[in-house]
Structure 1
Amino acid sequence: MKYIIGKKAGMSRLFLENGSSIPVTLIYLIDNYIIDIYNNINNISKLKITIKSNNNKINKSILGVFKKNNIKVNKIWEFNNFNKYKNSDIGNKIDISFLKDIKKVDITGYSKGKGFSGVIKRWNFKSQDSTHGNSLSHRAPGSIGQNQSPGRVFKNKKMSGHYGCVKVTTKNLKIIDFNINNKILVIKGSCSGLIGSNLIIKSI
């Protein structure tokens, strides 16, 4: 398997010959550079790649890696179980032409953050009655506790809280088109992430 980082450009739709349309996600493939390779460490091979970024909060040990390989300061991703590269590939740009022969990919991104949300939005609870004596409890969750025994709220109880902004992987997404000249990958369906956010693309 191979990994590459892209940016979500947005969504569109394509019309097929039979007149039906399918939703597609457009992903712009940024230049990916190999900055470090670890082979056969505890029987695990690790690969570190980077893209252009405005991230200035990088510690000195990572800065030394960039300086050693003559690469600009960027954000870093680390992956396991990749197709083996040679140490001579460090500092080189990853060739994206391998996507021509790939039919499906797994895409990982962060879902849109919704902030602090109630149980109706977060967990799809049913709201309480709008009338018939209900006052100020229309969107309230209701009882969350137990009896005197156990006398506590169990873990993982569905309640209000932070919603969204979690890592989500969508598997087996079909590649509709790949424009290697413009570095645009067209994927059938949707994947998590804001427009302009980074996506991890893993070939199957």
Structure 2
Amino acid sequence: MNGLIGKKVGMTQIFSEKGDEIPVTVIEIGPCPVTQIKTKEKDGYRAAQLAFEPITKKDKKKFAKPKHGHFDKAKVKPHRFLKEFRLEDGDEAKVGDTLNVDIFTDVDFVSVRGVSKGRGFQGVVKRYGQKGASATRGSHEAFRHPGSIGMCEYPARVLKGTRLPGQMGSVNIKVLNLEVVKIFEDKNLLLVKGATPGANGGLLVVSKSYRRKKTSGENNQKKAKKSGK
């Protein structure tokens, strides 16, 4: 399995053995029960559908009946979120299994995907960092305006991609190669170095990163830490 579903708890800081301050994001990962298995013979690919965050009694009325049937078939309690993960060669999973943060025990880097904080309708100064117009030299109530957005005679239209005011935030963002700092298996917590998308309590999809591996120097440091040298 190459990933799990989690929830952003918040950010804090920890200190290394040398006393260096490390900013970390705390992610609550799992437990994620398997609700469905996709096979090559039937679906054309191998994958496992995982669930996250059980539904409380108050939320049951908001839960659609077809979804109840899906969870009843898997003999799993209804959960709020469902996500599918591809199964790698050699991975085996069956409906009803529960996956926890321990799948990241030997992983050095992860990629985290989430929805960024929504900022509402914003102008070009905040949305794109444009400078704005001069406050003197005859400017009149146009200090934060975008200025000219096209030509009058030709092509007589606004070109695609022109930076204009609009909705800011609330988009899917994936942050690659975040270093795994610490894992608390008893509490299903994963600590990664740096920031992750979204607000506290937001849904995150954490997957193993295949684009970067530890260098020889980093591996030697890791071995030294394990041996206590």
Equivalent residue for 1:69? 74
Equivalent residue for 1:79? 84
> Are positions 1:97 and 2:98 aligned together?
no
Equivalent residue for 2:153? 148
- 1:133 and 1:23 mapped to 2: Cα distance? 47
Aligned length: 202
Q: Note if contact 1:48-1:76 (Cα within 8 Å) is conserved in structure 2.
A: no
C-alpha displacement of 1:134: 1.3
Equivalent residue for 1:122? 127
Q: Note if contact 2:100-2:188 (Cα within 8 Å) is conserved in structure 1.
A: no
1:90–1:196: structure 2 CA closer, same or farther, 3 Å change rule? same
Q: Note if contact 2:4-2:206 (Cα within 8 Å) is conserved in structure 1.
A: yes
Equivalent residue for 1:4? 4
Identity of aligned residues (%): 29
> Are positions 1:31 and 2:38 aligned together?
no
C-alpha displacement of 1:94: 1.2
Q: Note if contact 2:49-2:85 (Cα within 8 Å) is conserved in structure 1.
A: no
C-alpha displacement of 1:80: 4.5
Moved more, 191-200 or 22-31: 22-31
C-alpha distance after superposition, 1:126-161 (max 9, x if no partner): 121112321110100001122322211111211100
Q: Note if contact 1:7-1:29 (Cα within 8 Å) is conserved in structure 2.
A: yes
Equivalent residue for 2:185? 180
After TM superposition, the runs of 4+ consecutive aligned structure 1 residues lying more than 3 A away are 53-61, 83-86
Q: Which amino acid aligns with 1:23?
A: P
TM-score by length of 1: 0.90
1:95–1:11: structure 2 CA closer, same or farther, 3 Å change rule? closer
TM-score by length of 2: 0.80
C-alpha displacement of 1:16: 2.5
Q: Note if contact 1:52-1:72 (Cα within 8 Å) is conserved in structure 2.
A: no
- 1:126 and 1:95 mapped to 2: Cα distance? 47
C-alpha distance after superposition, 1:168-196 (max 9, x if no partner): 11111110100111211110111101101
Residue segments in structure 1 that go unaligned for 5+ positions in a row: none
- 1:128 and 1:13 mapped to 2: Cα distance? 40
Equivalent residue for 2:220? none
C-alpha displacement of 1:82: 2.4
- Measured on the aligned residues, the alpha-carbon RMSD in Å equals 1.9
Q: Which amino acid aligns with 1:99?
A: F
Equivalences for 1:187-198 in 2 at 5 Å? 187-198=192-203
